[in-house]
Amino acid sequence: MVLFRGLKNTEANKNSQFSDSYPIKLAVDLLASKDSQGFIQLIKSLIRSSRRFSSFYFPVIEKFAEFVQNLPENQREFFGQQVRFLTQGLERASRTLSLCLAHFFPEEANFSNVSKRDALWIYATFTAALFLDVGKIAVKYTVTLYREKDHFVKQWDPYTGTMLGQGSYYKFDYIKENLHDLYRFITPILARQILDSATGPSSGGFNWIASDPEVLAIWFALLVGEEDRIPMTSFMSVIPRAEIEIVENYRKEKKIVVTDPAGDAFLQWLRKEITEGRILINKQNELRVTEKEIILSVALFQQFADSNASYKHPEIIEKQFIDIAKLYQISISELDQRYRAHGGLSGISDLGKRYRTIGGLAATQENEQILPIHRCLKGGVGLLSLITSQPLREILSLSTAEKTIIKSSSPNPTI
């Protein structure tokens, strides 16, 4: 099914050829474009510590640029054109920092006054956003190095470092074998490799992140795609929102039209209902959010169908909504509540165990009868970010939760 009109046969897709040679460039040349300079200046203005930016942020940006070169990042099939890893990473990282400031420090103009622990969280969040897709390079591409445009040297091994010094030109092609699941495991490996090359293996960026086990655990969880381990009120919860903003801005700019509109219409309706207070999170059975997940009742699809004459089939609306979520790289699973009707559970403790077994509700809500007996959709921080742009901390009314999340549990170096 093609969800966006006019993209299946775009010129970028029809004329994709990977036989051209590309020069291997230094960071100064790779980052010279107007877009890249704009992202870098925004990052620098937000950090507002020249020492921290020059020691920990900019070297990582440079090494990331030299690692990915001008390779295209084709994660989003509906972009209609090739988007480079470099551009995507820088935009996602700069948007992530902007969202962190707006959501967690709304009274501040930049991060110059944050605590050392918050500075660590912000750095970990920035690097996670920058490196989010870098593992794809190892499993989706073959890159061949040349001394001259046609003088073969060898195939590039990304685990050995950047292409610099190994050739003068490169050609690339896509690996036909589907190794999609593998790239998530490789992503943190390459992320640490780039961090160590940029800031040193002994006292650099990765060691700063690793100095706090809690920060390190969530950093790894995000890079390997374990969204259900990302707290809704963590700084890293804004990374999916940054991804969504990139996609939606592109759709708006290119005027990309949905060909099967029921799912998108439901999404826009749900956003409006939440914003205008007609659907209340954690106040009604249809939409419940815990610190780790969101439970969305399928009754909402019927509610939308009842109020919109153009969309009368809840099953189709639901299917298309799930398709829309997939385009934003957001996973949705099902939570079937019907077993309650069969008397299979003996008590509250059994209910808690059952939910933990199937990956269901968080412990904070095990004792609540929160939903009627019907099927629900379940997702993590990405799904919540998709349906609302409001700060997740405010949505959950957990003004003290973030203090718990970012409470220092181990000493950090002075940065």
Residues in contact with 141: Cβ distance below 8 Å, sequence separation at least 6, in sequence order: 71, 172, 173, 174, 175
In a domain, 237, yes or no: no
**Domain CATH for 116:** 1.10.3210.40
221 and 270 fall within a common domain: no
- Tens-place pLDDT, residues 348-378: 333 333 332 333 333 334 334 444 556 899 9
Say if residue 219 is in the same domain as residue 301.
no
Residues 270 and 276: their CA atoms lie apart, in Å, by 10
Cα(23)–Cα(149) distance, rounded to whole angstroms? 9
Three-state secondary-structure class, residue 143: strand
Q: Are residues 215 and 286 in the same domain?
A: no
Do 320 and 394 lie in a common domain? Answer: yes
Give every CB contact of residue 175 below 8 A, 6+ residues apart in sequence: 139, 140, 141, 142
List CB contacts of 338: < 8 A, sequence separation 6 or more. Answer: 373, 374, 375
Q: Would the pLDDT of 400 be above 90?
A: no
Whether 385 is covered by a domain: the verdict is yes
Is 409 a member of any domain? Answer: no
Query: What letter does residue 395 receive in the DSSP assignment?
Result: H
Domain that holds residue 391: 264-404
Note whether 278 and 195 are same-domain residues. Answer: no
Among 200, 225, 250, identify where a domain stops: 225
User: What's the whole-number mean pLDDT along residues 73-78?
Assistant: 58
Same domain for 57 and 113, yes or no, is yes
The structural domain count of the chain equals 2
Specify the pTM.
0.81
Residues 208 and 148 in one domain: yes
Q: Provide the pLDDT confidence category of residue 343 given band limits of 50, 70 and 90.
A: very low
CB 374 within 8 A of CB 296: no
Token pair belonging to 51: 């020492």
Alpha helices of 224-278 — where are they, by DSSP H? 238-254, 262-275
Same domain, residue pair 203 and 54: yes
Q: What angle do CA 362, 127, 55 make, to 5 degrees?
A: 140
Same domain, 102 and 169: yes
Q: Any idea what the Cα angle at residue 329 is, between residues 323 and 331, rounded to 5°?
A: 70
Does the residue 287 lie in any domain?
Answer: yes
Q: Which DSSP string do the residues of 153-201 spell out, in sequence order?
A: EEE--GGG--SBTTBSEEEEEE--S--HHHHHHHHHHHHHHHHHHHH-T
Evaluate whether residue 233 is within a structural domain: no
* 4-40 tens-digit pLDDT: 444 444 444 444 444 589 999 999 999 999 999 999 9
Q: Give yes or no: residues 87 and 183 share one domain.
A: yes
Q: Which helix (H) or strand (E) holds 103?
A: helix 85-104
Q: Is residue 141 part of a domain?
A: yes
Residues 103 and 216 in one domain: yes
Q: Is residue 314 part of a domain?
A: yes
Where is the domain boundary, 198, 225, 252? Answer: 225
CB 266 within 8 A of CB 325: no
Pair (305, 201) in one structural domain: no
